[in-house]
Amino acid sequence: MGFSNLRFYQFRNIANTTLRLDSRNVCFVGRNGQGKTNALEAIYLLCYGSSFRTRQDALLVHHGSSEMALVGTAEVDERTLELDLRIQNNRKQISVDGNPVQDRKEMVHNIPCIVFCHDDIEFVSGAPDRRRWFFNQTMSMAEPQYIDYLRSYNRILKSRNQTLKDGRLDLLDVYDSQLAETGLIIQQKRRQIVQQFNLSFQQLFREISELPYEMTIDYRCSWDDDSTGTWILHELRRRRDMDLRLGTTTSGPHRDKLVFVANGMDFTTVASTGQLRLLGLILRVAQARYLADMVGLRPILLLDDVLLELDPQRRKSFMRFLPAYLQAFYTFLPDEEFSQYISGDTLEYRVQHGQFELFQGR
């Protein structure tokens, strides 16, 4: 069933209220800037404890207020979860079933949740770090231990960079071996996930886009493809002078590249904006399917204004290839033709100035 209700208190522009959400499909319909995406963000926050739009918690609190709260009940896999997230005096506190969450990592497997939005195009045509981010996210959702590897890699990298800036040559050997050890694990995990991901991604791309391309995601790791710890140490030492000169570490997983290769070409150099956007959405479909397979739970889908930017044929295939989901939340503009997404038990809310009204006109 997913979420059955959600209480909003001083959250963004949404009026203090409790919404019933007890349907497999829920639509939020309203003009621009009324609070539809804010509602999707609230669901995501309760699933993962963080927003998909911002890392600044202060932005979540209603302007002029010093506190906010979101409280929801969700049924997942025959369990009922009471989720509570609040911010008071700039401190965020999260609890699940009354138990405080110490680390958001604990929430990763409670309710898998995938968001589809305009910004997904960034994973395709944005800077390389956006693609790394996407695969880090996918990997972390499937295997929370990966979060520990990433955190520890980033910590070591930061210390090594500081050491380079300070010119502390005596410490570099220690950081090099730590970086090599953790970086190698990340590289292996990335190679694995890209390989597995490609299996369904290639087929999804073919079926949804109907473009005459053989598409693959090519993982180009910064260190040698089948590097060993010894090779990496040698490489770090070889680059040491340059790293010292630049005051930064110039090789390692933080420099990895992921390239969409279509018929041997980098797809981003030949694709139209519409095709790039579609590829971004296909990536999310592949992510949702991958996650459903790995975690064994049906995900919650948040579809923010994405369907109507696809042509009718693409829209149909897109919907057909979504994984079996627990619950889906859609946003639509009022004048869009969205009735085909509404079935007998769909909850349809009209959203205006942060007020949500259940529409019972159909």
Ligand X SMILES: Nc1ncnc2c1ncn2[C@@H]1O[C@H](COP(=O)(O)OP(=O)(O)OP(=O)(O)O)[C@@H](O)[C@H]1O
Stretch that binds ligand X, among 55-63, 82-90, 205-213, 263-271 (CB under 6 A): 55-63
- Cβ 339 to ligand X shortest distance, Å: 19
When the beta carbons of 28 and 205 are compared against ligand X, the nearer one is: 28
Among 6, 8, 12, 172, binds ligand X (CB under 6 A): 12
- Cβ 31 to ligand X shortest distance, Å: 7
2 is an annotated ligand-binding site residue = no
Q: How many CB atoms lie within 10 A of CB 305?
A: 18
Distance CA 135, CA 32 (A): 31
Cα 264–chain centre separation: 28
- Cβ 330 to ligand X shortest distance, Å: 11
When the beta carbons of 11 and 205 are compared against ligand X, the nearer one is: 11
The answer to whether the Cα torsion of 56, 59, 64, 70 is positive or negative is negative
Q: H-helix or E-strand containing 129?
A: helix 128-142
**First-to-final CA distance of the chain:** 22
- Cβ 271 to ligand X shortest distance, Å: 25
When the beta carbons of 37 and 327 are compared against ligand X, the nearer one is: 37
Give Dmax (Cα) for the chain. 73
When the beta carbons of 68 and 232 are compared against ligand X, the nearer one is: 68
Q: Are 40 and 344 in contact (CB under 8 A)?
A: no
Map the footprint of ligand X across residues 270-329, applying CB under 6 A.
Answer: 305
Q: Which residue has the tokens 């996650």?
A: 291
When asked if residue 62 is in the footprint of ligand X (CB under 6 A), the reply is: yes
When asked if residue 86 is in the footprint of ligand X (CB under 6 A), the reply is: no
When asked if residue 54 is in the footprint of ligand X (CB under 6 A), the reply is: no
One-letter amino acid for residue 325 of the chain: Y
Q: Which residue has the tokens 């979540």?
A: 60
Distance CA 2, CA 328 (A): 9
When the beta carbons of 113 and 351 are compared against ligand X, the nearer one is: 351
When asked if residue 59 is in the footprint of ligand X (CB under 6 A), the reply is: yes
When asked if residue 63 is in the footprint of ligand X (CB under 6 A), the reply is: yes
- Cβ 13 to ligand X shortest distance, Å: 3
Show Cβ contacts of residue 248 under 8 Å, excluding neighbours closer than 6 positions. 161, 164
Q: Report the length, in residues, of the chain.
A: 362
Lookup: tokens for 263: 């018929």
When asked if residue 216 is in the footprint of ligand X (CB under 6 A), the reply is: no
- Kindly state the number of chain residues that form the binding site for ligand X, as judged by CB under 6 A: 16
When asked if residue 66 is in the footprint of ligand X (CB under 6 A), the reply is: no
Distance CA 187, CA 223 (A): 9
Among 13, 17, 90, 228, binds ligand X (CB under 6 A): 13
When asked if residue 136 is in the footprint of ligand X (CB under 6 A), the reply is: no
- Cβ 33 to ligand X shortest distance, Å: 4
Stretch that binds ligand X, among 58-66, 75-83, 119-127, 246-254 (CB under 6 A): 58-66
When asked if residue 110 is in the footprint of ligand X (CB under 6 A), the reply is: no
Q: Which residue has the tokens 């195009």?
A: 121
User: How many C-alpha atoms does 341 have within 13 Å on its Cβ side?
Assistant: 27
Give buried/exposed letters for 184-197 (b at 16+ CB in 10 A, else e). Answer: bbbbebbeebbeeb
- Cβ 343 to ligand X shortest distance, Å: 23
Torsion-angle region of 252 (φ positive above 0: left; ψ -120 to 50: alpha; else: beta): left
When the beta carbons of 56 and 102 are compared against ligand X, the nearer one is: 56
Map the footprint of ligand X across residues 24-53, applying CB under 6 A.
Answer: 30, 32-38
Residue list, annotated binding site: 30-37
Which residues make up the interface to ligand X (CB under 6 A)? 12-13, 30, 32-38, 59, 61-63, 305, 331
Residue list, annotated binding site for ATP: 30-37
